[in-house]
Structure 1
């Protein structure tokens, strides 16, 4: 196999989200200037709190990559639910958190679109091929 994960739309979308989450988390742990910038933008004065967010991003990113690797559509659907909750939560906070809500919503829609595309085309596949 050339690719280390299934080349389905949902796995590609989910794997990219996980990889980006992990990169974002690592960057926020090792680049002090990025932590300082995010501290101002997000209005969070606590560096340990920002590091907690970064560690969470690494952790969820790893789970996303693993789910993409095994094409775990149940986890992918649950992430759509979680992103929907994030849209409401961050949207209610307003300000820069509205941007986070938009991102979460976009990622949820992309994941759902990939999963629905696969579900829709599943019946069109030729059995045994």
Structure 2
């Protein structure tokens, strides 16, 4: 496979990561938040979310999912959102809570949505 996108990587950005250095996606997120702190993690529609802010918001969302909704590790959660800052918070919060994320296209019809939710057995 021709990986021509590497030509667009900034100088110093590695083409591969050492996946064995992390236990889970949540571990990668936590590590990145500690390492990059006040740097911009995401920008959307003129707003920026720093790694520090993402860490706090995703941690709060994970706590909500676990403590208020009673979701348990391994359960499936559907996220039906466009690409926005809130999506990153929801995704990372769910992963931190140990949940399996099922992405749902916001443009699905009611029939498509019903099928996806049943098929994925989301809670």
Superposition TM-score tier, normalisation by shorter sequence = 0.3 to 0.5
- The normalised TM-score by structure 2 is 0.32
Q: TM-score, normalization: structure 1?
A: 0.31
Structure holding more strand per residue: 2
Which has the bigger relative contact order, CA under 8 A and spacing at least 6?
1
